[in-house]
């Protein structure tokens, strides 16, 4: 390794350490406990059991929670079912129904920050096989959103400080018009984006640590846009999938692995079948671009 390579390696290590420190500090600030504003009561359980709407081709499910734990998966017999377990006054979820739409809302709790260990707010929900537009909004939470094989026609996720994993381990049986994820200072991992069966994917992140894995069975070309602040991003693309990644914003800490053709800020790889076209707007941080 020559002097230039050693300097480049040390610079990458230094930038990565700075990112990790900033992300850790931001997450720590976001998870500040303010117990004075939290009034605890007896633990209560709300059962959710919503049937598939009659005489409609599709449905919409909206989930809005404050802070806590969120687990979503497939397997419901109806449209959506599960339980919400909570023990905070003012956090009683409200379920509303209208023309094929079901909303499960906990409301905007502006005066309550992330809860302490005594607070319970656990959402465990299952989605059915009916084609559905799904929108998830959450504050600070930890969760697993397993959408493997779930029939989604649109997907929108918005959260604050989170530690979340989204999985598509098997293909979406219907075409998803678009998939968007917007987050604050978070640790987010999305696996199997190729199985989402969507032509359009957007990711907007703040200071965080993100993994975007485009593996899966691509049924059509996909255009993806990734925008991020000071962050560490890992993008994984299957070895046999054709792809082009265009980077803007001045980022110069890019670590490609696998076979890439590099021209300026454009990284391309050959393959067969549908193509993934990714644009990345990122000024400061580190990007691992992996073909495997």
- Domain identity same for 49 and 174: no
- Domain identity same for 56 and 191: no
Query: Is residue 146 in some structural domain?
Result: yes
- Domain identity same for 63 and 95: yes
CB 87 within 8 A of CB 43: yes
Taking phi over 0 as left and psi of -120 to 50 as alpha, with beta for the rest, 21 belongs to alpha
Query: Is residue 1 in some structural domain?
Result: no
Count of H-run helices and E-run strands, the chain: 1, 23
- Domain identity same for 44 and 26: no
Query: Is residue 199 in some structural domain?
Result: yes
Backbone torsions φ then ψ of 79, nearest 5 degrees: -80, -50
Number of domains in the chain: 2
- Domain identity same for 206 and 217: yes
Please give the residue range of the domain that contains residue 163: 10-31+142-292
User: What are the CB-based long-range contacts (under 8 Å, 24+) for 149-158?
Assistant: 149/74, 149/173, 150/73, 150/74, 152/176, 152/196, 153/58, 153/177, 154/178, 154/179, 155/179, 155/180, 155/196, 155/198, 156/180, 156/181, 157/181, 157/182, 157/183, 158/182, 158/183
- Domain identity same for 106 and 167: no
Nearest to 180 by CA among 216, 227, 146: 227
- Domain identity same for 213 and 108: no
Query: Is residue 2 in some structural domain?
Result: no
Query: Is residue 4 in some structural domain?
Result: no
Q: Within the chain, which residues score under 50 in pLDDT?
A: 2-36, 111, 115
How much is the pLDDT for 37? 60
Query: Is residue 127 in some structural domain?
Result: yes
- Domain identity same for 105 and 210: no
How much is the pLDDT for 44? 95
- Domain identity same for 108 and 198: no
Query: Is residue 50 in some structural domain?
Result: yes
- Domain identity same for 20 and 51: no
- Domain identity same for 97 and 168: no
Question: Final residue of a domain: which of 139, 174, 203?
Answer: 139
Question: Final residue of a domain: which of 139, 164, 181?
Answer: 139
Question: Final residue of a domain: which of 139, 162, 187?
Answer: 139
- Domain identity same for 197 and 262: yes
| Each residue's pLDDT tens digit, 221-263 | 999 999 998 899 999 999 999 999 999 987 879 999 999 999 9
Query: Is residue 74 in some structural domain?
Result: yes
């Amino acid at each position: 390794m020559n002097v230039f390579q050693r300097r480049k390696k040390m610079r990458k290590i230094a930038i990565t350490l700075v990112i990790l420190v900033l992300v850790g500090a931001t997450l720590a600030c976001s998870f500040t406990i303010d117990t004075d504003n939290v009034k605890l009561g007896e633990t209560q359980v709300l059962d959710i059991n919503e049937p598939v709407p009659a005489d409609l081709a599709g449905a919409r499910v909206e989930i809005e929670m404050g802070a806590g734990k969120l687990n979503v998966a497939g397997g419901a017999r109806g449209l959506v079912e599960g339980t919400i377990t909570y023990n905070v006054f003012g956090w009683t979820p409200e379920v509303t129904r209208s023309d094929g739409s079901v909303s499960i809302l906990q409301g905007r709790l502006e005066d309550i920050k992330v809860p302490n260990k005594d607070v319970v707010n656990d959402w465990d929900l299952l989605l059915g096989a009916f084609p559905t537009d799904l929108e998830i909004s959450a504050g600070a939470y930890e969760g697993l959103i397993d959408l493997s094989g779930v029939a989604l026609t649109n997907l929108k996720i918005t959260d604050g400080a989170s530690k979340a994993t989204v999985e598509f381990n098997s293909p979406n049986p219907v075409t998803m018009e678009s998939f968007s994820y917007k987050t604050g200072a978070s640790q987010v991992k999305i696996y199997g984006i190729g199985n989402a069966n969507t032509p359009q994917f957007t990711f907007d992140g703040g200071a965080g640590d993100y993994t975007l894995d485009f593996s899966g069975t691509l049924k059509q070309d996909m255009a993806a846009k990734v925008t991020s602040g000071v962050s560490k991003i890992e993008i994984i693309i299957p070895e046999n999938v054709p792809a082009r990644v265009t980077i803007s914003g001045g980022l110069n800490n890019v670590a490609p692995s696998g076979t890439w053709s590099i021209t300026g800020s454009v990284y391309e790889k050959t393959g067969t079948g549908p193509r993934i076209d990714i644009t990345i707007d990122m000024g400061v941080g580190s990007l691992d671009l992996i073909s495997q």
